[in-house]
């Protein structure tokens, strides 16, 4: 099995070796549990040991375990679909980035061809979203997320893809769109 890039950060943050996590999984009977049951028990263990962001790390440990035992491929979600993402830093503010993306998406023929229907816009203090269903049926979420110095990153998340190959194709398509967009910034 190839080395899982999730393992090193898990070991560092949880201060527990991957072999120790595998022994923990055996002790809780993880082979016979579903994703939610495993994540709950891992969360309880991480909360007990005082790990910061225990919920997030519980998901990371659970997904790494599922990949380790062959239940899940990289990028695969619990429902069996796949996810891909593209992320780029920009010199724009969070609001400025979303304003520019929205204008670009409304007029760019490739974005209009890739996205079906009218996009939905939403915002919180932490991020702004442009969401649409892709013409191929998967979901597209384009987020403007804050960075240091008042700048923002553009993060495109593609969910509901049917296969690793479809995820790779969608990532490639949206990487090209994001690269072209950033050329206008």
Q: Are residues 51 and 96 in the same domain?
A: no
Q: Is 128 left (phi over 0), alpha (psi -120 to 50) or beta?
A: beta
Whether this prediction's pTM lies above 0.75 is answered by no
CATH number assigned to the domain comprising residue 118: 3.30.530.20
Share of residues in the chain with pLDDT > 90 (%):
77
pLDDT at 169: 94
Q: Are residues 23 and 91 in the same domain?
A: no
Question: Is residue 75 assigned to a domain?
Answer: no
Domain that holds residue 93: 82-182
Q: Are residues 140 and 94 in the same domain?
A: yes
Using one digit for the tens of pLDDT, what is the confidence trace for 128-153? 999 999 888 899 999 999 999 999 99
Spatial distance between the Cα atoms of 146 and 165, rounded to a whole number of angstroms:
31
pLDDT at 68: 93
Q: Are residues 148 and 104 in the same domain?
A: yes
Pair 77, 159: CB distance under 8 Å: yes
Residue 160's Cα: distance from chain center in Å?
12
What is the rounded average pLDDT of the residues 72-88? Answer: 89
Q: pLDDT-based confidence at 112, cuts 50/70/90?
A: confident
Is a pLDDT exceeding 60 seen at residue 2? no
Cα separations in angstroms, 135 against 38, 45, 109, 153? 35, 42, 13, 25
Q: Are residues 63 and 94 in the same domain?
A: no
How many domains does the chain contain in total?
2
Spatial distance between the Cα atoms of 29 and 83, rounded to a whole number of angstroms:
28
User: Average pLDDT, whole number, for the chain?
Assistant: 92
Share of residues in the chain with pLDDT > 70 (%):
98
Question: Is residue 174 assigned to a domain?
Answer: yes
Using one digit for the tens of pLDDT, what is the confidence trace for 4-15? 777 999 999 999
Q: Where do the DSSP E strands lie in 31-138?
A: 82-89, 115-123, 128-134
Is a pLDDT exceeding 60 seen at residue 23? yes
DSSP conformational letter for 108: -
Cα separations in angstroms, 9 against 59, 94, 130? 13, 28, 30
pLDDT at 116: 82
Pair 135, 113: CB distance under 8 Å: yes
Pair 142, 101: CB distance under 8 Å: yes
Is a pLDDT exceeding 70 seen at residue 172? yes
Q: Are residues 91 and 150 in the same domain?
A: yes
Pair 83, 25: CB distance under 8 Å: no
Q: Are residues 107 and 134 in the same domain?
A: yes
Question: Is residue 76 assigned to a domain?
Answer: no
Q: Are residues 132 and 63 in the same domain?
A: no
């Amino acid at each position: 099995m190839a080395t899982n890039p999730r393992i090193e950060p898990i070991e560092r943050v949880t201060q527990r070796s991957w072999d120790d996590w595998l022994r923990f999984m055996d002790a809780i009977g993880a082979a016979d549990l579903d994703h939610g049951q495993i994540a709950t028990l891992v969360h309880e263990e991480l909360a007990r040991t005082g790990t910061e962001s225990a919920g997030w790390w519980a998901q990371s440990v659970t997904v790494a375990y599922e990949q380790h035992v062959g239940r899940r491929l990289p990028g695969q979600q619990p429902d069996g679909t796949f996810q891909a993402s593209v992320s780029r830093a920009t010199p724009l503010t969070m609001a400025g980035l979303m304003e520019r993306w929205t204008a670009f998406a409304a007029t760019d023929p490739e974005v209009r061809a890739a996205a079906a229907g009218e996009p939905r816009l939403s915002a919180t203090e932490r991020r702004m979203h442009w969401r649409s269903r892709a013409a191929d049926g998967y979901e597209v979420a384009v987020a403007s997320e804050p960075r240091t110095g008042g700048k923002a990153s553009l993060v495109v998340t593609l969910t509901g893809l049917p296969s690793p190959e479809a995820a790779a194709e969608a990532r490639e398509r949206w990487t090209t769109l994001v690269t072209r967009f950033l050329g206008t910034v």
